[in-house]
Amino acid sequence: MLGLVGLGLAGCGTRARSQPMTEPARPPGDGLADLARAHGISFGTAVQGELLAQDQVYAAAVAAEAQLLVPEWEAKWEALQPREGEFDFGPLGVVAGFAQAQRKQLRGHALVWHNAMPDWLAPALAEGPARARAVLAAHIEGVLGATQPLIRDWDVVNEVLANPPGSRFTDQTPARGIFRDTPWLRALGPDYIELALRLARERDRTLRLTINDYGLEGDTPWAEQKRQNMLALVRALLAARCPLDAVGLQAHLQVDEPFRPEPLAGFIQTLHGMGLAVLITELDCREGANLPPGQEARDGIVAAYVQQVVGTALAAGCRTVLTWGLSDRDSWLNRDPDVARRDGQQHRGHPLDAEFRRKAMWQALARSFASA
């Protein structure tokens, strides 16, 4: 298997898993990553390999604004192991090649998730726990073996918690206790989470292992319940001496969701007290049902909400912030029918507009970094 090492990426080095990878020295610019770095913060964004390869404006914006990249799709099971036993590192190699050429860091997303599963996977998991364990172990072995020099930080498990009753999210998936009912849970019970983390640690002892989820930021009863559920899960894992280094807050924000700093700050500080890092992993911001007149007013509302949330997280000790894309043009917010606007308008929830011009959210992030 010609993994990413075949791209000559070996030797990217390893480092203590609790610390972000040291960034290569580079001439200071005025991008968000430069502004963040000046305050000890790592900033980055999700990227699409095809756009990196085909769209120079897109690639230039990523090069100028971001230091830490996360593949939006190319490191998911569907992309990496489309058929059982057949690994395809081609799409990830495009992102990796860009990261190497531009001297960027790369984080992995996601080793275990209930979406982006290739067609063969759910039936395999349904064959029973022994098969499920073998499939999981083979994937983690194959992926970490090929990406070890390149990716030092993975979302090992993604969105394992159910959305509590009353949640604002459309995917009211059935729950089993605090856990989302997924093919993984049905095959292995909640232990799949610990199993994935242990397999990842055994394969790569210096990898930073992250649990990533959404709906953890707001000041609502269901966000508070989901935060308590995350804390219960983390406490149980740590009590079982399960390897875990960080919790990722996806931060897919919505301006209509109430926010108060204290609940989020307390949550982050509690996780820090357990010895865990906290990252913002997928920041973007959906606009409200009723848009104010004028683009400037819309952008101002998004910027103010983002600055409140990111400023709170940074003040509580978060030191890694990634947006889920830089520009409104390529955002899942305007592709995914579950979140796209019904009024035909495009969400403006990213630092750059559809023409890759910096807008109020870009300034809000810059201000948040400067006051961290």
Is 191 a binding residue for ligand G3I by CB under 6 A? The answer is no
- Closer to ligand G3I by CB, 339 or 366: give it: 339
The closest of 277, 145, 137 to 212, measured between CA atoms, is 277
Site for ligand G3I in 134-173 (CB under 6 A): 158
| CA pair distance 229, 211, nearest whole angstrom | 13
- Closer to ligand G3I by CB, 336 or 343: give it: 336
| CA pair distance 343, 341, nearest whole angstrom | 6
Residue 145 and residue 4 in contact, taking contact as beta carbons nearer than 8 Å = no
- Closer to ligand G3I by CB, 115 or 269: give it: 115
Using CB under 6 A, pick the residue from 179, 332, 356, 362 that binds ligand G3I: 332
Site for ligand G3I in 204-243 (CB under 6 A): none
| CA pair distance 143, 76, nearest whole angstrom | 10
Is 371 a binding residue for ligand G3I by CB under 6 A? The answer is no
CB of 163 to ligand G3I, least distance (A): 13
Is 340 a binding residue for ligand G3I by CB under 6 A? The answer is no
| CA pair distance 299, 57, nearest whole angstrom | 22
| CA pair distance 229, 241, nearest whole angstrom | 18
- Closer to ligand G3I by CB, 64 or 116: give it: 116
SS3 71: strand
CB of 193 to ligand G3I, least distance (A): 16
Residue 218 and residue 166 in contact, taking contact as beta carbons nearer than 8 Å = no
Query: Could you tell me how far CA 332 lies from the centroid of its own chain?
Result: 14
Residue 158 and residue 109 in contact, taking contact as beta carbons nearer than 8 Å = yes
Q: What six digits make up the tokens of 19?
A: 């610390």
- Closer to ligand G3I by CB, 115 or 206: give it: 115
| CA pair distance 372, 318, nearest whole angstrom | 9
Sign of CA dihedral 85, 121, 152, 198: negative
Parallel, antiparallel or unpaired: strands 105-112 and 179-180: unpaired
- Closer to ligand G3I by CB, 116 or 291: give it: 116
The closest of 87, 110, 281, 85 to 182, measured between CA atoms, is 110
Using CB under 6 A, pick the residue from 229, 250, 307, 327 that binds ligand G3I: 250
Is 115 a binding residue for ligand G3I by CB under 6 A? The answer is yes
- Closer to ligand G3I by CB, 333 or 372: give it: 333
SS3 249: strand
Stretch that binds ligand G3I, among 71-79, 140-148, 166-174, 232-240 (CB under 6 A): 71-79
| CA pair distance 302, 361, nearest whole angstrom | 7
CB of 241 to ligand G3I, least distance (A): 28
Is 329 a binding residue for ligand G3I by CB under 6 A? The answer is no
Is 53 a binding residue for ligand G3I by CB under 6 A? The answer is no
Is 73 a binding residue for ligand G3I by CB under 6 A? The answer is yes
Stretch that binds ligand G3I, among 52-60, 72-80, 197-205, 270-278 (CB under 6 A): 72-80
Using CB under 6 A, pick the residue from 53, 64, 116, 178 that binds ligand G3I: 116
Is 50 a binding residue for ligand G3I by CB under 6 A? The answer is yes
SS3 370: helix
- Closer to ligand G3I by CB, 12 or 95: give it: 95
Binding interface with ligand G3I (CB under 6 A): 48, 50, 72-73, 76, 115-116, 158, 250, 282, 332, 336
